[in-house]
Structure 1
Amino acid sequence: MKIVTIGGGSSYTPELIEGFIKRYESLPVSELWLVDIPEGEEKLNTVGALAKRMVQKANVPMDIYLTTDRRKALKDADFVTTQFRVGGLAARAKDESIPLKHGVIGQETNGPGGLFKGLRTIPVILDIIRDMEELCPNAWLINFTNPAGMVTEAVYRHSNWRKIVGLCNVPIGIRMGIAKILGVSADRIAVDFAGLNHMVYGLDVYLDGVSILEEVIDKLSSPDGSLTMKNIANLGWDPDFIKALKVLPCPYHRYYYQTEKMLLEELEAAKTAGTRAEVVQKLEEDLFELYKDPNLSIKPPQLEKRGGAYYSDAACSLIDSIYNDRKDIQPVNTMNLGAIASIPEDSAVEINCVITKDGPKPIAIGDLPVPVRGLVQQIKSFERVASEAAVTKDYHKALLAMTINPLVPSDTKAKVILDEMLEAHKEHLPGWSIPEVAK
């Protein structure tokens, strides 16, 4: 079995290696190709050397190849995973800092930052797919690159490729967090997930097959019961709001339900520790210093601070289930196919699926509850318009996407932020320009 990881020089890669090592008996990867761009070659070599030491220590017969030649790597691949960031953390810093200047949330996958990450990422994903159509037409594309929902949407709308699964560690993080709050093992917990990427809800929660939704909502209402992630400030939830909502929000919902608080938190953090991108830059520097240690042959525990907890479990479990036709249930981003009644059938959704050798089969839930339906539909509209803007490089479509995003308060502010970000990111947005009439 040949697996290719594009963005192989990522600090997350040791997570992936650990996941493949743990599953080698059921997922016998013979070749793992780590691919990066020439500018990332130093990191690729550092991570690749650690990966080889990890495999050697585990005594697993997995050959690891490092290359900046994507086409060479893709030839006859069985699975391709993507985990890259166009423009690196410097681009993320712009995504976060420019909106903040204008009093708008600055976040890498939500609001203006999410739009621009999508505008930079989608053309690259579509280029990768064109290579896959030629070089490995039977491979599965497992996309972990954010914004994963928008990227999956773009692939469905603007290519003929259907063997793609978008993946996120938020649902597995929620399930593990619930298990921790309840003091039980995670394999006893199941959650009915439905919604969109970074906009997914837990519609019900089960312990040993019995619904415990009300109990979990009560726990979330307590000061120490909130579920969050390393990259999102834990502001807790108002007990009355959570009880009224009657479903579990994900950590990213704080940007929509607690916008003012999150904005103030980001502004304060930017003054002291810096934006999240700046914090991560320091974390990455420390991680790569660790990775260079020739005596290190395991995934270092410091990687958990990076914010990618359970990434390898999510990615490797998905690949394992497709490869072995396990027919287990996992939450992934895939085509809706009527599973959520109020979302178009041909749109990408994040939902529990039965994972088979033919890919994910979404489990129908009917419709989303009325209190959350409108917000999900608004974000889906944003994703569709944004993905079209990314493909057409159309200024007006980008302005429309920016304006309809609920985190942007007005068309005037949307235009100012859009123009500034287009200028700031022009190196990674070839073919884009601001029309004279817009200026």
Structure 2
Amino acid sequence: MKLAVVGGGSTYTPELVDGFARLRDTLPVSELVLVDPAAGRLNLVGGLARRIFAKQGHAGRVITTSDLDAGIDGADAVLLQLRVGGQAARNEDETWPLECGCVGQETTGAGGLAKALRTVPVVLDIAERVRRGNPDAWIIDFTNPVGIVTRALLSHGHKAVGLCNVAIGFQRRFAALLGVTPEEVSLDHVGLNHLTWERAVRVNGEDMLPQLLGKHLTDIADDLHLPADVVQQLGVVPSYYLRYYYQHDAVVQELLHKPSRAAEVAALEKELLDMYADPQLDEKPALLEKRGGAYYSEAAVALASSLLNDTGDVQVVNTLNNGTFSFLADDAVIEVPATVNAQGAQPAAVSPLEPLYAGLVAHVTAYEDLALQAAVHGGADRVFRALLAHPLVGQISIAQELTDKLLAHNKAYLPWAR
């Protein structure tokens, strides 16, 4: 089995490689190709990847290349984890929206739109090259904003499933609190990528969420950076990203007085790459946990195994709505438990979304539709309409100011904006 990772020079990659090595019985990878144009980073990450495989007795080969077409040739699955513009572009996404009194964040709001505009054309080009050279390969997208990127792939007819580590992170956290194995925990995880709620946490069919909120409310709320009384009142566990909606103005003030997450990550990446250069290092370092992407490897292995081995497992993924939520179009991309097999991901039956969540989901889905149109076709007017439709913007003057700033900061990546 051959897997290709586009963006293989990411400091995330050792987390992924560690999962491939540990879970080789689930996903027997014979050849792992790391593809990245940044040769220096790629060599460091590739070297560590080979040492991780060797230490854990994995017989597979690790190959590094900057040649995309060679890297994806013959791959059974292609994992996308790229960041167009790197941490420098992310730093801008997280800062200039604050000048307009709006959240600066890499996956939502104006910063998230900027990332989508830079990313979608690149991802669609990669996907088209995969389809031309290897039409049977599955594309697994971990590239943010996952919902918009996955919708772009599916709307252009590619064999793709979107993946996020939020659900598996909750599963692992709840399992630890309940004293059970992660495999015993299933989630009623519903919504859109980075806009989800855990409505139930089931162990052997019994919903343990009331018990979790009763015994661990403060710890859970602290992890979410939300007030405990709000979580208690909701009676569900929202994803961390809901704080950008539920406490927008407070978060803006917080972000104005602290370094950007991009700056923190850039410093972490420098330290990690220095560690990766050590020829004695043969395991993922503990510092990598601070980089983000926890349990990404387990989620990626499970998803790839289900797609390639036709297992029919139920996993939380990003896939087409197809009637799951009646108030959304069939081609909207939602994040829910789905049955995953060789045909792709089919959403499992979930109960209707309550109005408190459905309204926001509908609002953000409309924004994502407009964002995708802007990313595919370009145009300042499309950017403005997407921003105006976003629930974190929604005012003409602010949407116009954000449009001007977005285009000014991203001309290097948007030929139509020059």
Q: TM-score range by the shorter chain?
A: over 0.9
Letter matched to residue 220 of structure 2: G
Matches within 5 A, 1:342-357: 342-357=327-342
TM-score scaled to structure 1, two decimals?
A: 0.92
Determine the structure 2 residue equivalent to 1:283: 268
Letter matched to residue 160 of structure 1: G
1:160 aligns with 2:145: no
Determine the structure 2 residue equivalent to 1:68: 66
Q: Tell me if structure 1 keeps the 8 A contact 2:221–2:228.
A: no
Determine the structure 2 residue equivalent to 1:237: 227
State the SS of the aligned residue for 2:238: coil
Unmatched segments (≥5 aa) in structure 2? none
Q: CA deviation at 1:219?
A: 4.5
Determine the structure 1 residue equivalent to 2:195: 199
Q: CA deviation at 1:128?
A: 0.8
Q: How high is the sequence identity, in percent, across the aligned residues?
A: 41
Determine the structure 1 residue equivalent to 2:43: 45
Determine the structure 2 residue equivalent to 1:87: 85
1:267 to 235, 246, 256: 256
TM-score scaled to structure 2, two decimals?
A: 0.96
2:282 to 286, 290, 297: 297
Matches within 5 A, 1:319-358: 319-358=304-343
State the SS of the aligned residue for 1:351: strand
Residues 135-170 of structure 1: per-residue CA shift (max 9 Å, x gap)? 11000000000000011112233x122x10000001
State the SS of the aligned residue for 2:16: helix
Give distance in 1, aligned partners of 2:369 and 2:202: 33
Residues 70-89 of structure 1: per-residue CA shift (max 9 Å, x gap)? 01111121100000000000
Letter matched to residue 250 of structure 1: S
Residues 144-202 of structure 1: per-residue CA shift (max 9 Å, x gap)? 00000011112233x122x1000000111112222233344323321111110001121
Letter matched to residue 22 of structure 1: R
1:389 aligns with 2:374: yes
Determine the structure 1 residue equivalent to 2:75: 77
Letter matched to residue 406 of structure 1: P
Change (3 A) 1:58 1:146: same
Q: Tell me if structure 2 keeps the 8 A contact 1:96–1:113.
A: yes
Determine the structure 2 residue equivalent to 1:369: 354
| Farther off after superposition, 405-414 or 125-134 | 405-414
Unmatched segments (≥5 aa) in structure 1? 229-233, 434-439
Q: Tell me if structure 1 keeps the 8 A contact 2:168–2:295.
A: yes
Determine the structure 2 residue equivalent to 1:436: none
Residues 324-360 of structure 1: per-residue CA shift (max 9 Å, x gap)? 2222211000111112222211111111011212221
Q: Displaced runs of 4+ in structure 1, greater than 4 A?
A: none
Give distance in 2, aligned partners of 1:15 and 1:298: 9
State the SS of the aligned residue for 1:94: helix
Determine the structure 1 residue equivalent to 2:122: 124
Determine the structure 2 residue equivalent to 1:22: 22
Determine the structure 1 residue equivalent to 2:113: 115
Give distance in 1, aligned partners of 2:329 and 2:342: 25
Letter matched to residue 14 of structure 2: P
2:219 to 221, 224, 233: 224
Letter matched to residue 384 of structure 2: L
Give distance in 1, aligned partners of 2:285 and 2:344: 32
Q: CA deviation at 1:238?
A: 4.0
Determine the structure 2 residue equivalent to 1:6: 6
1:406 aligns with 2:391: yes
Determine the structure 2 residue equivalent to 1:247: 236
Give distance in 1, aligned partners of 2:11 and 2:215: 34
